[in-house]
Amino acid sequence: MAKLKAQREAEDRGFRSPLDVAQDAFQDFQSGPDIPRPNLAESFIPVVGPAWEAVADLQDGNYGGAAFNGAMAVADVLPVGVAVRGLKAASKGIGVLKTGSVTAGAAAKKIRRVGLATKGQEIHHTVPLNGKSRSAQDWRNHYALLKTLPVEQHRRLTGSWLGKPRYDPIRRVWYGTTDWMKAAPTSVARYAADAWENRAAEPPSGTPSR
């Protein structure tokens, strides 16, 4: 009771704790004008896109989403950023698949509509359809497994184009895979090498440290 009375007296005198001020400011933020969410293309702007989404999530009271997107923003400036953006692409791809049929045509239209594929670019399946109809529903049409490429790069993955030969195996792998596909094994190998080096640097069991 004494604490409550002191608090009320402080409020009457115009004194407020920093926590009270912060809480009121946060409530004003949540009840203020809605922050428009970024579209799919904007959400992939490094740092800015996920930070924007985190702020919008925070205003909506989606604290889990805010934490996830905040982590994405931080990861964009770290060495693991490319791999993390692959996870983010996968999460966006789930949205693509929920809003349309899981067909190559539907996925391509969605990607072009949000501006991720521009004129002169084609959409490449990193896991080949192998002759399957582009109007059939298939997991290979998932956004995380699609990549936009200039026409020449796309055509030369599978054959010659305008007199230029098909790419060699190294360039087929490099151009034909997404950033996260290239980054994931590299990151795993690097961490494995670091772990091995650290293990090798440890003194033998029973050896006194200096």
Q: Which amino acid is at 97?
A: L
Mean pLDDT (the chain, rounded): 74
pLDDT confidence band for 165 (50 / 70 / 90): very high
CA atoms within 13 A on the CB side of 80: 13
DSSP class per residue in 49-72:
HHHHHHHHHHHHT-HHHHHHHHHH
Q: Is residue 203 over pLDDT 80?
A: no
pLDDT digit string, tens, across residues 122-156: 999 998 888 888 888 888 888 778 899 999 999 99
pLDDT at 10: 54
Supply the pLDDT for residue 199.
Answer: 60
pLDDT in tens, 56-95: 888 888 888 888 888 777 766 655 555 566 666 666 655 5
Lowest mean pLDDT among 40-49, 153-162, 197-206: 197-206
> Encoding tokens for residue 135?
């109007």
pLDDT band at 1; cut points 50, 70, 90: low
19-28, 109-118, 185-194: lowest mean pLDDT where? Answer: 185-194
pTM of the entire predicted model = 0.47
Scanning 79-142, the segments in alpha helix (DSSP H) are 81-99, 104-113
**Range name among 2-11, 14-23, 61-70, 98-107 with the lowest pLDDT average:** 2-11
Spatial CA neighbour of 140 closest among 107, 112, 168: 107
